[in-house]
A and B are shown apart, each in its own frame.
Chain A
Amino acid sequence: MYFYMYKIETEWYGRDMATAEKLATTTELARDYGRILDDAAKGPVSIPRGKKPDITLIGRDRWQQAEASQQWMMAFSVIVRYGVDRIGGDSGVVLPAEFEWLRAFEPGDLLEFLREFSNAMKDATMGVRPWEEVEDVLYEWHRSAIVLLDKHLTSRLKKARANVR
């Protein structure tokens, strides 16, 4: 049972998702900035500043990861919302211009897209795969939508289907 839970946790959330936050005062920062910067390279170090907003030092790779995560979560939330509505039978859902191409797909295809996109998002969020792979998924589905929207090309593909496997 314990092993099973551990497997679920590592598979779905990754091992190192939670990182302990350290605290340092401004005095400590001034006196021992070398050690604090080394700590910040390993995990977040927060510096309370009284009435001013606190500052958190983090490694550049973690910051980039957080930035990419925020970037793609916005796209993900729009896509999931659209997918759920479309698969649920509502075809009049409003979409931002950059996702209009999703309308080219049938609900069954959309489900496959959501599965592929959410897996890539999960792996990238956990740091298992790079964020470029999320971009790759979107790029390839977008390219496929362009083909689907080209009636002449799809009719040629349809005619050729009998000769291929």
Chain B
Amino acid sequence: MESEWKAFALAHPQAAQRTYERLTAEPLVRIARRQFPLKGAATKPFWEYEATAAFRIYYATNSTNMTVIVAARNDVHSGSDVVALIKNRRMNFEIEMRSLRESAHRLEAMESGTISGKGSPKKKEDATMRRPRGPELGRSVLWGSASLG
């Protein structure tokens, strides 16, 4: 552990100074996303402290209120921010919905004769054709004699 801390202090002396001051003065005071107790029974009672964007310090306090640093890790996983991933998922969902909506509108317009399909002759409406009932996630818009089941 000492060698990890030394390596960290040599690489980031100012951050190491700030970390030392924080973890000795207020080791158990939470700062959202920077200093917090780890969740889950297997990691109790340890805390994580974000010393730099890449370095994480794992520590706890002992019975005499001394801060015990257990690990200083150059965290390779920090790039995958879960919040950004979730927000991207929403964005992707909306893009998918928009493209489905657009294709439904296009098919509707083709059917009503407002526009004709690029490179395809304008089709006369067939009795077996069903109008798309709007976008459905995970399915393409149903057309022709296909059944919705």
Contact = CB atoms under 8 A, between A and B. Distances in A.
Interface in A34-49: none
A74 B39 CA distance: 23
Interface in B69-90: 70-71, 73, 75, 77, 81-83, 85-87, 89-90
Contacts of A143: 36, 38, 48, 56
Given A147-B43, A164-B61, A142 B82 contact: yes
- Chain A's interface: helix, strand, loop or mixed, by majority? helix
Nearest to B59: A164
Nearest to B62: A164
Contacts of A144: 38-40, 43, 48
Contact of A165 (B33, B45, B85, B93): B45
Interface of B: 32-33, 36, 38-43, 45-46, 48, 56, 58, 60-63, 68, 70-71, 73, 75, 77, 81-83, 85-87, 89-90, 93
27 contacts: A71-B90, A74-B89, A74-B93, A75-B89, A97-B85, A98-B85, A105-B39, A105-B40, A106-B40, A109-B39, A109-B40, A136-B32, A136-B33, A138-B83, A143-B56, A144-B39, A147-B43, A147-B58, A148-B42, A154-B42, A157-B42, A157-B71, A160-B46, A160-B68, A161-B45, A164-B45, A165-B61
